[in-house]
Structure 1
Amino acid sequence: MTDRNEGGGPLPAAALAAVIAALTRLLGNEVALLKAEAARAASDTRRAIGLFAVAVVLGLVALNALAGAAVLGLMAAGLHPAWAMLTVGVGLLALALGYAQAARWRLRRENLSPWRSRRSMQRSLSTLGGESEKAPDHADQ
């Protein structure tokens, strides 16, 4: 038995083997590319986290300097040093609590759920004759 048929071309089994071999090489190349891209993304992520950590440290130092300058400014305006420090401290604490509350609100489960998709899916189901539960109304943001 030969690898050629009467027309001179490869036999169907040989052609199939060649296609499978080519697909295997292609898949191997794609996997290698995926691994290289993942490694690069991981490296970029580590570098970004390092830069973010440096930014946080520098930001804290800057906030400390600005708070000191605010205290000195209030003292120059005639406020007793203790009252100046208390005023700046309470103001910064109020800002921190406001930001923490905003972050908590954004992290609530109902704010993270895909409510627009759920509402659209329920409309589609009701159009097709399925269940017609109402999704909670949220203002489009």
Structure 2
Amino acid sequence: MDNIFDTILGLVLGAIGMYWLFNFFKGKKSKEITTHQSTVLLEKMKSVCKLISVEGEFAEIYKYENVKDFMSLVSSKKKALVVIKAKAHIGYDLSKILMHADEGKKTIILDNFPQPEVLSIEPELEFYDIKSGFFNFFAPDDLTKLNAEAK
């Protein structure tokens, strides 16, 4: 009788243990939590009077390589490939025009019309093939410098 009781108790405790283990590992699935936060700050607003007459689209491939030698024994290379696509706006800054009115003839006379100039450049960078060496790796400030050089 004692042996049957021990067997039943073992089965019940085993079932409870298996249920607990199943629920424990079921809840251990890998979870990925991503949060994004963005705040737009207005730095400056000013009135402009510009006329864009030409818009050009450009593309450039910028290749970056850096090799460091350690104790003249081992060299380590890091490299990146950056594709730069940019829009350039060329036109006139109309705030440089001198205007005066001839009331008798009812006309407005424009003097000192400016030469066309580059008004803005809007670059868009895409990084490809970023590879760090064993002793020479990319730090966040390296990518910031690379971004500035490419622009």
TM category, shorter: 0.3 to 0.5
CA radius of gyration, larger in: 2
- TM-score, normalised by the number of residues in structure 2: 0.32
Higher relative contact order (CA 8 A, sep 6+): 2
* Structure ranking higher in helix proportion: 1
- TM-score, normalised by the number of residues in structure 1: 0.34
